[in-house]
Chain A
Amino acid sequence: MVPAAPARVGSVPHPSPLATPPGRLASLGPVAQPLGRRGRTGRRQPARSPPPPMKFKDYYEVLGLARDATQDEVRHAYRKLARKFHPDVSKASDAEARFKEVGEAYAVLKDTEKRAAYDQVGRHWKSGQDFQPPPDWDAGFEFAGGGEAADGDASEFFEALFGRRGAAGPRASSRTRGRDHHAKVRIDLEDAFRGARRGVTLRLPTVDARGRVAMTERTLEVAIPKGIREGQHLRLAGQGDPGSGDGPPGDLYLEIAFNPHPRFRVEGRDVFVNLPLAPWEAALGASVTVPTPDGPVALTIPPDSSSGRRLRLKGRGLPGTPPGDLYVVLEVVLPPAGTAKAQAAYRAMAEAFEFNPRTPDEE
């Protein structure tokens, strides 16, 4: 069997488990890098490359606030920016990152105790400067339960100051079902056409016997079913959190996204492909080879075709019941008139046709 390639795993707007491709962990600061201070946040994991210096984050700047903003102003600014950058609302490519940043800033500034601690540190740094927590940092502060970023993975900076976020949810002592987990998985369109095996690496916060939080990694080999579509969810029964007592484990949900394809565009179960044609192929008709995700097929272009015409290959879209269709969108491309011979041919065309592509009132 061919070894499964690692799944390209996308960002998770609201991650419970974080899904990351194996081998890229070093770029994800919070997990793979040693923290700036000892103890508190749990087990260190070896960094796979030297960590980049941590930058100081100005949480006031993130929320657009003055340092003496009232708690009401903090909440107001947060709500406004959260609406603007919410990943379900905004289509901006950096929305998710901005939303997390805003959430993290709010998690600190809304909490008067954290805010006071942050203000104490913040006197000595400016936004973007390399940052190391002072050795006696947090003397006099005790953040029970570790840090709490707004529903997501906190930055390295946040964790250095406030500790790592604990695994959410009360630990019930009796028989309780484990929590369900969600992650996003990016696959290639071809995987959805043929079915595939993908290694998916999940990072889960776990709490050890002493109540410390550590990230553990788990890789699953997942069968991607043929015909799965973008935005659909794959449920893996029993692959969520373990239950407590003799309770059953939760389920794992993988949301499917497609990697952008250089050639094909997908809408639901239909697939679109552009097909460039020479003018004479479009005019006279032709038999051409068209790429499809399932391999090339021969396609007859009817005479008198023009740019933008769509030819449908029924059932050649994503497999399923019913399967989707493949739409071939014709695009007539003019050959360059760079040589004397080519110019002569265009002149001959001009003489042969009494053709005005514009309607008279456009002239």
Chain B
Amino acid sequence: MRQAAPPAIAGTIVEVEVHFTLVELCRACEADEESVVAWVLEGVLEPAGDSPGDWRFRGECLRRARMARRLAQDLGINPPGVALALDLLDEIARLRAR
């Protein structure tokens, strides 16, 4: 017989409850700080706050930052290219949703 089931682990919904610092976002999207800063400068991600130390990224940034990291890593795309690719992918998603 098995014992009573262990308690389930409760999580946090990132898109609803989480804001990331630069360091946290880098860890979560598995990219280095230099890349994330470059994506911010290209407008891929739009944190609140004035300087990298103060930046706060909304939870939605996680998905976008991970896509940016994959595109950069898998396809060798530089930051302006990543910005363009993500904008076009957003546009395609919007058109498909119609």
* Chains A and B bind each other: yes
Question: Interface of A with B (CB < 8 Å)?
Answer: 1, 3-4, 13-14, 16, 79, 82-83, 86, 88-89, 99, 103, 150-151, 177, 179-180, 182, 197, 220-223, 225, 228-229, 231-237, 239, 250-251, 253-254, 267
- In this complex, how many residues of chain B approach chain A with their Cβ under 8 Å: the count is 31
CB <8 Å contact, B5 and A3: yes
Hey, which chain A residues are within 8 Å of B71, CB to CB?
A: 86, 88-89
CB <8 Å contact, B11 and A222: yes
B15 is an interface residue with CB less than 8 A from chain A? yes
- Identify A197's interface contact among B8, B12, B15, B73, CB under 8 A: B8
Q: Which candidate, B36-44, B47-55, B59-67, is the interface stretch facing chain A? A: B59-67
Q: How far is the CB of A37 from chain B (nearest CB, A)?
A: 29
CB <8 Å contact, A222 and B9: yes
In the complex where A79-B75, A231-B63, A235-B14 touch, is A4 in contact with B5 (Cβ < 8 A)?
A: yes
Hey, which chain A residues are within 8 Å of B73, CB to CB?
A: 151
How far is it, in angstroms, between the C-alpha of A229 and the C-alpha of B15 when the chains are bound? 10
B1 is an interface residue with CB less than 8 A from chain A? no
In the complex where A180-B27, A250-B27, A253-B14 touch, is A236 in contact with B9 (Cβ < 8 A)?
A: yes
In the complex where A4-B5, A251-B28 touch, is A151 in contact with B74 (Cβ < 8 A)?
A: yes
Question: Interface of B with A (CB < 8 Å)?
Answer: 4-16, 18, 27-28, 30, 59, 62-63, 66-67, 70-71, 73-76, 85, 89, 97
CB <8 Å contact, A267 and B97: yes
- Identify B13's interface contact among A222, A233, A251, CB under 8 A: A233
Which partner residue on chain B sits nearest A220 by CB separation?
A: B9
In the complex where A88-B70, A197-B8, A221-B9 touch, is A180 in contact with B16 (Cβ < 8 A)?
A: no
How far is it, in angstroms, between the C-alpha of A39 and the C-alpha of B15 when the chains are bound? 44
Hey, which chain B residues are within 8 Å of A250, CB to CB?
A: 27
Hey, which chain B residues are within 8 Å of A232, CB to CB?
A: 13-16
Hey, which chain B residues are within 8 Å of A182, CB to CB?
A: 66
How far is it, in angstroms, between the C-alpha of A223 and the C-alpha of B90 when the chains are bound? 31
**From B6, B8, B75, residue with most partner A Cβ within 10 Å:** B8
Hey, which chain A residues are within 8 Å of B10, CB to CB?
A: 223, 225
Which partner residue on chain B sits nearest A85 by CB separation?
A: B74
CB <8 Å contact, A235 and B18: yes
How far is it, in angstroms, between the C-alpha of A236 and the C-alpha of B12 when the chains are bound? 7
How far is it, in angstroms, between the C-alpha of A254 and the C-alpha of B9 when the chains are bound? 12
Which partner residue on chain A sits nearest B62 by CB separation?
A: A233
- Ordered by A's residue number, 19 sampled pairs between the chains whose C-beta atoms are within 8 Å are A13-B70, A16-B30, A79-B76, A82-B75, A86-B74, A88-B67, A99-B74, A180-B28, A197-B5, A221-B7, A221-B9, A223-B8, A223-B9, A229-B15, A232-B13, A232-B15, A232-B16, A233-B15, A233-B63
How far is it, in angstroms, between the C-alpha of A79 and the C-alpha of B14 when the chains are bound? 33
Q: A234-B13, A239-B9, A267-B97 are known contacts; what are 20 more A-B pairs with Cβ within 8 Å?
A: A1-B4, A14-B66, A14-B70, A82-B74, A82-B75, A220-B9, A221-B5, A221-B7, A221-B8, A222-B9, A223-B10, A223-B11, A225-B13, A231-B63, A232-B13, A232-B14, A233-B14, A233-B59, A235-B14, A254-B11
CB <8 Å contact, B11 and A225: yes
Q: How far is the CB of A67 from chain B (nearest CB, A)?
A: 25
Hey, which chain A residues are within 8 Å of B27, CB to CB?
A: 177, 179-180, 250-251
